[in-house]
Amino acid sequence: MRNLVLFIFFIISSFNFLLAQDNSLTIKTINERELKIYKGNSNVNIFFEFCDSSNLKSCNTNVIKFDLRGIVNILDNKEKFGKINIQENGTLVYRENGTISIISIAGIESDIIETKILRDSVREVFF
Phi, psi at 75, each rounded to 5°: -75, -15
Domain that holds residue 37: 23-126
What total number of domains does the chain contain?
A: 1
> Which carries the bigger pLDDT value, residue 11 or residue 28?
28
Residue 28 lies in a domain: yes
Contact between 26 and 10 (Cβ < 8 Å)? no
62-73 pLDDT, tens digit each: 999 999 999 999
Measured CA distances, 26 to 4, 5, 39 (Å): 40, 39, 12
Residue 99 lies in a domain: yes
d(CA 87, CA 83): 13
d(CA 11, CA 113): 40
Cα 109 to chain center, whole Å? 14
Torsion, Cα of 74, 68, 107, 56 (10° steps)? -50
43-93 pLDDT, tens digit each: 899 999 998 888 878 888 899 999 999 999 999 888 889 999 999 999 999
